[in-house]
Structure 1
């Protein structure tokens, strides 16, 4: 080893130490990173005084608890905390969320503008040089100038981005192009009104022409060549080469936004309608996201019953574009751009977006996704937010933004359900049969690596089949288990039992994802339908013992009797599965097996018939999949009518994800009506002194009319006041219906 001379290093070491200390102080990211919440982790380390607005814009005078709700929400968002908000049904929770969050967003945008303008002022440039003069050190002066130049470059670049974005939005609002596009969107309704006055013959001819066009759409892309079914060359060693990310530099920059998440599409539509009632309706940009099942308008995709098949067919249409095959006609660039512009300019729910898409002949599903970067509010269902791969596919970027999860009382169960997967013996055996026939047909055209991985998948399918008591060489319907049993095992024990512990499941899943083998297999099954029902059979039946045969005959006779009386034929159910190729479902199950051993369990359920036996992965730790949302987002709000027990909610979702208690803010309120505005009255007797008994025994007595007279006599003319309401509570719907009829 060479010897080094350390003599004379004391001065250099002293200089280096000084540089280290000063540079640490200087190079903190104090510019726009803090504004955009890149420095979110430091926001909740030090509590700061939040400058709350004096009042929040609201469609009417808010009640005190609504004001408190918005103030706490604003504080939570400003400090980057995790909020648990509980507000009973009927207290205006949605409006409070909208007005509080959007007011914070408007204030944040104004702060960003002011900070940028402040940093661009000349006097800010003097700070670094003034400090350098006092230190009398040329190195420090150079470092200060360099830092200031980098800071100013970053600020100018951000200012340019904001100016371009605002100019683009103004252009969209004022340009005649938008008006022309709006005019074009009404062409279909104009055509309908035009044809309504035509003769029956013309109507029939037009409808016939339209139906023929729809049939052409349905048959598009059915003339695929076998080349589309063969998996492409695959190199498993090129780990860093194939991320699956394309043209990230060309993606539009995302602004800080609010992601609102709820359980159903109807709740999302209701939320959007609440935004329309708010004071922010005129200038807020709102986009609703949904599944292809709700937003696709292509008949060739819409006719498929399974969401998985719809997803694959849609991707196939987009990928297989050529001169002969134009792909999906609703995904033309010009149409999608026009739809995106309209979605950003007009607040619309999912149903309205689909209607606009049909009128403009543009895909609402992809058009809405394109509008996400510039949207200020994005409404999306649970599955899109909670499933990471779906979130990434939908262009959802949470960095610096706010996530609001409404109706969150069942959030724990929802996360577990989203990541729980079940497969049946019939699906396993069917997937093995289809993949075997695929491998047999295309073996000469498959590269060695592809052939190796296909055979590995076949091996895994065989082991999964054995775990439910089946053999892949026989049809699922022809195989029976001697006894039924249900057992719960850990992931590791399951892998050991199935002799799959020596497999690199991550590598196998990476191959499935990049080669798109399940999609290729689905195309193979569609083109050669006989592979869907033709199973690889041997001439002989599977060997069974005499006892097994006897038990099978007894169970068959019992099932036949039951089926004839109350149940449909099981054989018909198994011969018409939901998925034509179940490999994609099995891929999800294999993906679940990559979870940590403590985070889930496997239920092995053996039924009499192997086809009805199942393997189910149960997710037990929801925090594993929620932690990425908590880490990426600036702030996360979970709200609901009742969030109790909050302690269990925090332990399983927040504390398990490593969130400190100091970062969690709780807010709970009662009902919106103050006590002074509520007068409960129990009426025991009518005006004539008759007892008002509405029990079942007194149902024949004409007491309802007496009740109406009593109410009118008690309240007098006050019920006609527009500021007062009268609510009657009765023992049953029939009595209340009679009361309403007589009152009217």
Structure 2
């Protein structure tokens, strides 16, 4: 009967989506239909929709439509199942009807109670905003009465291995248990919406508020402690926020964070939870609300997850299993949408890789030995044995680093790199550590919380030696950096990964001081992004990968989803919403002087080539109104391009710290009027090419100079290409080409496509795209540009023809803006 109900209650993909606030374009409606079908049929979908086509809003509306339909279905299913169970009952019909009616009412009452609570929270928010002093908070004072004596050292003793839970999980569990009988929210199917940055997630809130029911949709934004901490003393102290928070989770009143209510005073946390669920908020608003309520936003947001309809979160909280467990995220049976998924593979490889320096190893060893000397008389036998084993393992890592570094360094040579298979490093360390089981030692390090306890003890001793009289419960008494043993733990964890999925690189450079050991860094590089992603796919009801530049889709199938049957995969790609006359895309194969334009690495310093580029940009500056954005392959190339321009020149800073300031100055120059406009030089793959919008006058032309191929001499890149080549069934990619070189080219073109996607942000926007390199005219490169660009791309044999096409485009747009003449 259950199977029959499942069939009867299956949802048919709708033609209309009332959640969409406007009349959708056909491509937007098609996107929502494909999304709905994928979720309902429990499939993984790869969706490509160019930037400026309303992708995020379409994703939201399609998912919300399914979520609402699924909620109604679930309610009907429960009632129908109850009725069918009673069909064979001997009870009278009126009894059965009453039973079903009572069950229906119970479901409705729970939802009504939740909505009433949230409505009260909404009214409180309105009242808070009306008060002039609503944002003025009075900090609680820390109570420092703990005596600094030997009894405090109990805090430094390792925890029993059976506990296994972090302070975060235990603290959260206390509040959850304390409030379970008080108020149990209905747990509903939810959408986990992940994106790369908090800025992009903040934009999600704006899109949600455009929808008819957006103001009351229950959305919970998740973020790290660093983003959500409201403890001003902790933030100002320079303490590592994560470690400082964990240290203040437990203990007596003098050591606890003042914004963390005790487990027997859950009303504050529940009140904050209701405020979060009452109306959409971004991270900044959560922080402000936490300050007003004097309650921790980090833990309150997690308390709100069960009743949430949408949970927004950055990549790292979703993609790392350890982060999901620490945050209380369980995707089983829920919908996962990953926006900006064009860089998903690189993100997975990055966040599951790690580095460990020789100096960190030595710091760890120093802490372990100091800890052993102080506590060896107080430790239980099993702790003492494990501590000595751990010390031997860390000493073995130190020896391995020194020996490898000395063997690799060559006279008058710079940094050297050597690749190791994971199992070879594991074997070498096992021999050096006298056959100790590395996985067993790492399990103890993790369960005992020894990394933080040893670091805290050593920090306390240093303060004593320096005569620091800071109270032990104060923020200033916390250690200032993340414990070095955390890095050891991460490194040992990588050794437990499937050895074929990653490699370890030993990088060594000579010391600046004679007679000292070389500077050595061990780096674990994940090569296979599939295993960490597989668990998400297999647990979630449906996974949606969306982005503006997802092609070629076979790359995701081959590298990320080799385990997924093709029958479980849907793909959708659409064109742009702009009319053809709003885009002019041209390839410049030759410069004004007639020289062929090929900006490969060997020719980038060619004087004639740089003169040609200077003339091209000078000519474009004369014809392009407002903003001209030029993307170049690297920062070194950007430096060589800087010349004296007719218009204001802005360049992307290489440290990324002042990007926003440069962008504001660039925009201000354009908006101030005048005919000169401004020119912005940026780097492909840097911040300005990822996620920042150059709509309307900010970019009336985007210029791509050269092709941004990665450094093929990199040992890490070479190993990744070799891994992909060996993993491909025949070693070949699309069209029978070498799979490694296919990946190499795709990496380049995805970066190009992200850069050109910064312009043309809506239907009425317009711009020219200028590709300055003859290789863009070749079919292999041209075919990897977005379809909406490729079908309009002009390739000419002379500079004059291309320049004429651009001149006519801007003349036509100038006439359109001027309006009809009388």
Residue equivalent to 1:173: 118
Could you give the per-residue CA deviations for residues 629-648 of structure 1, whole angstroms, max 9, x where no partner exists? Answer: 01110000000001122112
TM-superposed deviation, 1:343: 0.5
**Matched positions, count:** 581
Instruction: Pick from 421, 424, 429 the counterpart of residue 362 of structure 2.
Output: 429
* Separation in structure 1 between the aligned mates of residue 330 and residue 201 of structure 2, nearest angstrom: 19
- The structure with the largest helix share of the pair is 1
Instruction: Pick from 67, 77, 80 the counterpart of residue 118 of structure 1.
Output: 80
TM-superposed deviation, 1:337: 1.5
Alignment of 1:77-116 (within 5 A): 77-116=39-78
* Separation in structure 1 between the aligned mates of residue 583 and residue 496 of structure 2, nearest angstrom: 59
TM-superposed deviation, 1:386: 0.6
Residue equivalent to 2:420: 489
1:650 lines up with 2:595 in the alignment: no
Alignment of 1:85-484 (within 5 A): 85-121=47-83, 125-127=86-88, 162-163=107-108, 165-175=110-120, 179-180=123-124, 183=127, 189-190=133-134, 216-217=141-142, 226-232=152-158, 234=160, 250=180, 254-303=187-236, 305=238, 309-320=240-251, 322-331=252-261, 333-469=266-402
* Separation in structure 2 between the aligned mates of residue 449 and residue 65 of structure 1, nearest angstrom: 64
TM-superposed deviation, 1:297: 0.7
591-600 vs 222-231, which moves further: 222-231
TM-superposed deviation, 1:486: 2.0
Could you give the per-residue CA deviations for residues 215-240 of structure 1, whole angstroms, max 9, x where no partner exists? Answer: x559798968533443246357x999
* Separation in structure 2 between the aligned mates of residue 381 and residue 118 of structure 1, nearest angstrom: 39
Structure 1 pair 681/302, CA: closer, same or farther in 2 (3 Å)?
Answer: closer
Structure 1 pair 335/598, CA: closer, same or farther in 2 (3 Å)?
Answer: same
Residue equivalent to 1:617: 524
Instruction: Pick from 547, 564, 578 the counterpart of residue 673 of structure 1.
Output: 578
Instruction: Pick from 661, 664, 667 the counterpart of residue 566 of structure 2.
Output: 661
TM-superposed deviation, 1:316: 1.9
* Separation in structure 1 between the aligned mates of residue 102 and residue 565 of structure 2, nearest angstrom: 36
Alignment of 1:525-604 (within 5 A): 525-529=458-462, 579=481, 581-604=483-506
Contact 2:419–2:503 (CA<8 Å) still a contact in 1? yes
TM-superposed deviation, 1:460: 1.0
TM-superposed deviation, 1:508: 1.9
* Separation in structure 1 between the aligned mates of residue 528 and residue 763 of structure 2, nearest angstrom: 49
Secondary structure at 2:14 match in 1? coil
TM-superposed deviation, 1:470: 6.7
Structure 1 pair 382/115, CA: closer, same or farther in 2 (3 Å)?
Answer: same
Could you give the per-residue CA deviations for residues 9-46 of structure 1, whole angstroms, max 9, x where no partner exists? Answer: xxxxxxxxxxxxxxxxx7x67779998xxxxxxxxxxx
Structure 1 pair 118/645, CA: closer, same or farther in 2 (3 Å)?
Answer: same
Instruction: Pick from 60, 64, 69 the counterpart of residue 22 of structure 2.
Output: 60
Secondary structure at 1:613 match in 2? strand
Contact 1:425–1:470 (CA<8 Å) still a contact in 2? no
Structure 1 pair 607/158, CA: closer, same or farther in 2 (3 Å)?
Answer: farther
* Separation in structure 1 between the aligned mates of residue 379 and residue 217 of structure 2, nearest angstrom: 53
Could you give the per-residue CA deviations for residues 601-630 of structure 1, whole angstroms, max 9, x where no partner exists? Answer: 111122223463111111111111111101
* Separation in structure 2 between the aligned mates of residue 316 and residue 591 of structure 1, nearest angstrom: 23
Could you give the per-residue CA deviations for residues 230-256 of structure 1, whole angstroms, max 9, x where no partner exists? Answer: 3246357x999x998757875866320
TM-superposed deviation, 1:190: 4.8
* TM-score calculated relative to the size of structure 2: 0.62
TM-superposed deviation, 1:95: 0.4
Secondary structure at 2:306 match in 1? coil
* Separation in structure 1 between the aligned mates of residue 763 and residue 359 of structure 2, nearest angstrom: 63
TM-superposed deviation, 1:664: 0.3
* Separation in structure 1 between the aligned mates of residue 507 and residue 340 of structure 2, nearest angstrom: 33
Could you give the per-residue CA deviations for residues 513-572 of structure 1, whole angstroms, max 9, x where no partner exists? Answer: 221111112221331226999xxxxxxxxxxxxxxxxxxxxxxxxxxxxxxxxxxxxxxx
* Separation in structure 2 between the aligned mates of residue 502 and residue 379 of structure 1, nearest angstrom: 45
Could you say which structure has the larger radius of gyration? 1
Could you give the per-residue CA deviations for residues 270-314 of structure 1, whole angstroms, max 9, x where no partner exists? Answer: 1111111122213310110001111111124323657xx322221
360-369 vs 249-258, which moves further: 249-258
Could you give the per-residue CA deviations for residues 65-84 of structure 1, whole angstroms, max 9, x where no partner exists? Answer: 00000011000010000000
Residue equivalent to 1:19: none
TM-superposed deviation, 1:504: 2.8
Secondary structure at 1:671 match in 2? coil
TM-superposed deviation, 1:581: 2.9
TM-superposed deviation, 1:173: 3.4
* Separation in structure 1 between the aligned mates of residue 551 and residue 236 of structure 2, nearest angstrom: 42
Any stretches of 5+ residues in structure 1 without a counterpart? 1-25, 36-47, 131-150, 193-206, 534-576, 683-692, 709-722
Contact 1:234–1:449 (CA<8 Å) still a contact in 2? no
Could you give the per-residue CA deviations for residues 308-365 of structure 1, whole angstroms, max 9, x where no partner exists? Answer: x322221221111x25444433445332211110000011111111111111111111
Could you give the per-residue CA deviations for residues 665-712 of structure 1, whole angstroms, max 9, x where no partner exists? Answer: 00000002355x869799xxxxxxxxxx9983798999999999xxxx
Secondary structure at 2:342 match in 1? helix
Secondary structure at 1:467 match in 2? helix
Contact 1:432–1:458 (CA<8 Å) still a contact in 2? yes
Residue equivalent to 2:737: none
Q: Which structure ranks higher in relative contact order (CA pairs < 8 Å, sequence separation ≥ 6)? A: 1
Any stretches of 5+ residues in structure 2 without a counterpart? 467-478, 512-516, 587-614, 627-673, 678-761, 771-802, 804-808
Secondary structure at 2:497 match in 1? coil
Secondary structure at 1:261 match in 2? strand
Contact 1:230–1:445 (CA<8 Å) still a contact in 2? no
Secondary structure at 2:216 match in 1? coil
Could you give the per-residue CA deviations for residues 711-736 of structure 1, whole angstroms, max 9, x where no partner exists? Answer: xxxxxxxxxxxx9957465999xx99
Structure 1 pair 596/218, CA: closer, same or farther in 2 (3 Å)?
Answer: farther
Structure 1 pair 588/169, CA: closer, same or farther in 2 (3 Å)?
Answer: same
Secondary structure at 1:468 match in 2? helix
Structure 1 pair 300/63, CA: closer, same or farther in 2 (3 Å)?
Answer: same
Residue equivalent to 1:638: 545
* Separation in structure 2 between the aligned mates of residue 707 and residue 480 of structure 1, nearest angstrom: 55
Secondary structure at 2:402 match in 1? coil
* Separation in structure 1 between the aligned mates of residue 25 and residue 550 of structure 2, nearest angstrom: 21
